[in-house]
Structure 1
Amino acid sequence: MNWLLVVLGAIVGAPLRYLTDRAVQSRHDSVFPWGTFTVNVAGCLTLGLLTGAAAGAASSHLQLLLGTGLCGALTTYSTFSYETLRLAEAGAVRHAAANVVASVAAGLGAAFAGAALADALWA
């Protein structure tokens, strides 16, 4: 049963990642990977919210569905790494460095914000 919850979350998360990435990237005329940045930060916020709610409102089944399944398929460390590598190889070293710094800072900030929001809602 647990594996089915993960699969169901991933069925939503993977296309959501692809569609969000394409929609965001099409609105930016830049080499910076805004689509991947957006889905990764959104996933961090969602996982922070879910993790913060785990003690009060999120069952283990909901954690599997949304945390492992949805967020696992929505976020993408491999694409982030590959896009950063491609930026560096193309000579856009500042964009590559900005991608690393901004992604880590925004991801951590979003996770902390999600956990704080969960604490405020369910504490």
Structure 2
Amino acid sequence: MTPLLVALGGGVGAALRFVVATRLDAPGRTVAAGTLLVNLVGSFVLGLLAGAAVRGDVLALLGVGFCGGLTTYSSFAVQAAERGPRRGATYAAATVLGALAAASLGWWVGQA
């Protein structure tokens, strides 16, 4: 049952990422807003699940599946490289720091 839950969550997360990135990631922009948004939201949700001590099937569906399918390192890395040294480094720093902040906020909310 667990692999099916991961696959279901991953399918939903990946489809949502595709829709968001298609609408918000425009070529030539300084920030790939769609990729940044899905990485921040995924980090928040995973932090929330960790803070709430979610385990088992719910973690498989939402944490591993949905958040794993929603977030993307590969697109983030390519988009950072495409933006060149300065804009790429700024975009990478904003993504990493933002994701850490979002996960921390999610954990804090999950603890409440």
Q: Is TM more than 0.5 here?
A: yes
TM-score, normalising length: structure 1: 0.85
1:14-29 to 2 correspondences below 5 Å:
14-25=14-25
* Pairs aligned (count): 112
* CA distance in structure 2 between the partners assigned to 1:82 and 1:24 by the alignment: 16
1:34-49 to 2 correspondences below 5 Å:
34-49=33-48
The letter of the residue matching 1:49 is L
What's the C-alpha RMSD, in Å, of the aligned pairs?
1.6
Aligned position for 1:50:
49
Aligned position for 1:67:
63
Q: CA deviation at 1:20?
A: 1.2
Percent identity reads 39
Aligned position for 1:7:
7
Runs of 5+ in structure 1 lacking a partner? none
Rg larger in structure:
1
Identify which of 86, 96, 100 aligns with 1:94.
86
Runs of 5+ in structure 2 lacking a partner? none
Contact 2:17 / 2:71 at 8 angstroms: preserved in 1?
yes
Q: 1:96 to 1:22 in 2, by over 3 A?
A: same
